[in-house]
Amino acid sequence: MNAETPRRRILLVNGPNLNLLGTRQPEIYGKATLSDVERITTEAAAAAGYEVRSVQSNHEGALIDAIHAARADCSGIVINPGGLTHTSVALRDALTGVSIPFAEVHISDVHAREEFRHFSYLEDVAAVRVIGEGVDGYANAVRQLTALIP
């Protein structure tokens, strides 16, 4: 890709335990699956002229590697870091280190849950934050994020 070619790709990152969507605590996270999240995100991105590359891992290092690789061909990142939201300085450093605008997404309203979920290592560096909108929040994050990308 040369300097004149716009990057029309979004990296979708889903962190630990999000592979269990649809079966893990459906009273909190709903019945939609990770495949549903990927479809919703892909459809919203396509409407804005973007494609999506998806990664989900329960391993912090794999997520960091995917974020680093995004420098080559992504113009934005949509991330639901799961429990790493509240614990990972390394994930924050990866996201700020690649200088790609990103949207932080949480399916549930983390501010209405346990106190330890109220803090996010990403909240002050995310270009967009979408919290408590269920899986439809991913589409909202894509719309807001792509509107910010030149």
pLDDT tens-digit readout, 88-118: 999 999 999 999 999 999 998 888 787 877 8
- Tokens for 20, please give them: 């269990």
Q: What CATH number did the domain enclosing 79 receive?
A: 3.40.50.9100
- Tokens for 72, please give them: 């080559």
The predicted pLDDT at position 2 comes to: 45
Instruction: Give domain status of residue 26, yes or no.
Output: yes
Q: What are phi and psi of 87, to 5 degrees?
A: -135, -15
Residue ranges making up the domain that contains 58: 9-148
- Residue 86 to residue 124: CA distance in whole angstroms: 13
Number of domains in the chain: 1
The mean pLDDT of 62-86, rounded to a whole number, is 97
Q: Has 10 been labeled as part of a binding site? A: no
Q: Has 117 been labeled as part of a binding site? A: yes
Instruction: Give domain status of residue 34, yes or no.
Output: yes
Active site amino acids: 29, 106
The predicted pLDDT at position 6 comes to: 53
Q: What is the pTM of this model?
A: 0.91
Instruction: Give domain status of residue 92, yes or no.
Output: yes
- CA angle, corner 120, sides to 117 and 122, nearest 5? 155
- Residue 50 to residue 31: CA distance in whole angstroms: 27
Query: In this predicted model, what pLDDT tens digit does every residue of 13-66 receive, in sequence order?
Result: 999 999 999 998 888 888 999 999 999 999 999 999 999 999 999 999 999 999
- Tokens for 47, please give them: 């409407």
Q: Has 108 been labeled as part of a binding site? A: yes
- Residue 134 to residue 127: CA distance in whole angstroms: 19
Q: Has 93 been labeled as part of a binding site? A: yes
Instruction: Give domain status of residue 4, yes or no.
Output: no
